[in-house]
Copies of this chain bind each other. A is one copy, B any other.
Amino acid sequence: MNAAADTFRRLGRPATRGRGEVLRILSESPIPLSPREILERIPEPRPDASTVYRSLSLMISLGLVRSVALHERSRRYEAVTEGTHRHRVVCRGCGRIESFQPKKCDLSRIENDIRGALGFDVSDHSLEFFGACAECGRKKGRGR
């Protein structure tokens, strides 16, 4: 009856509460979260921060979670969802983060170029956009 817990059991890992909460929180969040944000969202009794880090690193090795780098001091994490591919859009003015599901993400041409030029076999990519959100763009636009 608990999706996160089942996921762990299926993978042969004990389904502990902290671990389940981390995965649930990431699955429910529309944007990637930092370890600190994840911790803050776990209802009491809250696990230790080290448990959150250990959970994240386990889930990454199980392929349940991936990291997202938005050029901040700490990395963020998101749940891996089958069949979705998202890019992040970050506002330089207010820090707002949004996810964007591209109509069609075709970087395969670039990936082929890379294979040809460097012999690298690309399995994955990470694409983030930076700029001004509607609100901040408006603010800056009208004088300031």
Contact = CB atoms under 8 A, between A and B. Distances in A.
Interface of A: 67, 69-71, 75, 87, 89, 91-92, 98, 100, 102-103, 105, 107, 110-111, 113-114, 117-134, 137
Contacts of A137: 119-121
B130 A128 contact: no
B134 A118 contact: yes
A124 B130 contact: yes
Among A69, A113, A132, the one with the most B-chain Cβ atoms within 10 Å of its Cβ is: A69
A33 to B, nearest CB: 15
B119 A133 contact: yes
Contact of A130 (B92, B125, B130): B125
Nearest to A135: B119
Contacts of A130: 122-126
Given A122-B89, A137-B121, A114 B132 contact: no
